[in-house]
Structure 1
Amino acid sequence: MDSCIQVFSVIANFDTDYNLSISFNTDFLEANVINILLLLLGLMYVLKEFLGSILVDRQEKVLLAIQESEERLKQANSRLSESEKQLAQTQMVIAQIIKEAETTAQKVRQSILDQGKADVDKLISASKASIATAEVQIKQQIQLQVTSLAIKRVTMQLQDQITPNIQTRIIDNNIAQLGGYL
């Protein structure tokens, strides 16, 4: 207690040592400290029920908000788990679609290759037929040219070798042969 009084006296003498105008009044009755304490205690007693009911209401609101938050958390967790299930199902469906697409692409690729091979085979057959036809036509043209050349050569040789006398005999001979048929 003596130390408290010493502290108060140091504070009271503080302005005389440093020439400041702030001072501490050590007289409790004059400073109305008791009145202020009584006022505070009275306010606490009177406002106890009012503040208590406000605090209880506030506590109930906080608890209700916590319960609502917990309920929303449960709902959010259930929606999350449902969404995760849907995601897993969707991923399975996507994987199946990708697998089917790859299978279809492989079938289409094989079909295109088979069709291409069939087309190449048709082209080869058509080319062979065209070559065979061209070969036959060329052979016929060669035969015609050979025949034509042979006839020209024979004609030229006959023209060189046949005299007008021989021509007359051939004509008479042919007429005689025709006469037997008439």
Structure 2
Amino acid sequence: MEEDGTFLLLMAEATAVGGELTEAAGEGGFGLNTNILETNLINLAIIISVLFIFGRRVLGNTLQERRERIATAIKTAEQRAKDAAAALAEQQQKLAQAQAEAEKIKKAAQENAQKAREAVLAQAAVDIERLRETAASDLNTEREKAVAQLRQRVVGLALQKVESELRTGIADDAQHTLIDRSIALLGGNG
């Protein structure tokens, strides 16, 4: 602010000097005034010197401050760029780690699914084999029951026939032949 006041004061002085020069030119025409005090040459030299000395300092200080602010802003921007690049690299590394972990989990899940599939297939094969054995066993049991029932029926029919023939009076040879046939039918070879 003080600099602005000084500058305004110098401008006022310059305006006054300009006004005096105009008046002098208007009174006597164009001429050269050699009186140093009347021409305010000294005042003008002082003003120019003051402007040069203080203006250079003010302008130099202003430019220096601006240069420092720009340099600080550049350094800050460069630091932010470095920080952003470091953060980006860190996040990319985390992303790569997460992708690797996801790949491991996917591979483990596929292996577990394959193992589970193989276990289910093996268990199904065991169950099928057990069902076949059970069915074969049940079939054999039913066959044996059927054969046993048939034997009992054949024996029963044979006994009925023998009894009926005994009642009618069969000869001894015929009875022996009939008994041998019945025994042969029952599976016994005597």
TM tier relative to shorter chain: 0.5 to 0.7
Q: What is the TM-score of this pair, normalised by structure 2? A: 0.55
Distance (whole Å) between structure 2 residues aligned to residue 159 and residue 115 of structure 1: 64
Pairing 1:81–2:74 present:
no
Distance (whole Å) between structure 1 residues aligned to residue 145 and residue 40 of structure 2: 146
Distance (whole Å) between structure 2 residues aligned to residue 95 and residue 104 of structure 1: 14
Pairing 1:113–2:106 present:
no
Pairing 1:161–2:154 present:
no
Alignment of 1:57-72 (within 5 A): 57=54, 60-72=57-69
- Residue 144 of structure 1: CA displacement? 1.9
Aligned length: 133
Which residue of 1 is the match for residue 26 of structure 2? 33
Pairing 1:98–2:95 present:
yes
> Of residues 129, 141, 144 in structure 2, which corresponds to 1:144?
141
- Residue 75 of structure 1: CA displacement? 1.0
Task: Mark the runs of 5 or more structure 1 residues left unpaired by the alignment.
Answer: 1-31, 167-182
Q: What is the TM-score of this pair, normalised by structure 1? A: 0.57
Distance (whole Å) between structure 2 residues aligned to residue 126 and residue 62 of structure 1: 94
Which residue of 2 is the match for residue 123 of structure 1? 120
Task: Mark the runs of 5 or more structure 2 residues left unpaired by the alignment.
Answer: 1-24, 164-190
Bigger RCO (CA 8 Å, 6+ sep): 2
Distance (whole Å) between structure 1 residues aligned to residue 130 and residue 40 of structure 2: 126
Which residue of 1 is the match for residue 10 of structure 2? none
Distance (whole Å) between structure 2 residues aligned to residue 151 and residue 76 of structure 1: 109
- Residue 34 of structure 1: CA displacement? 2.9
Distance (whole Å) between structure 2 residues aligned to residue 85 and residue 120 of structure 1: 52
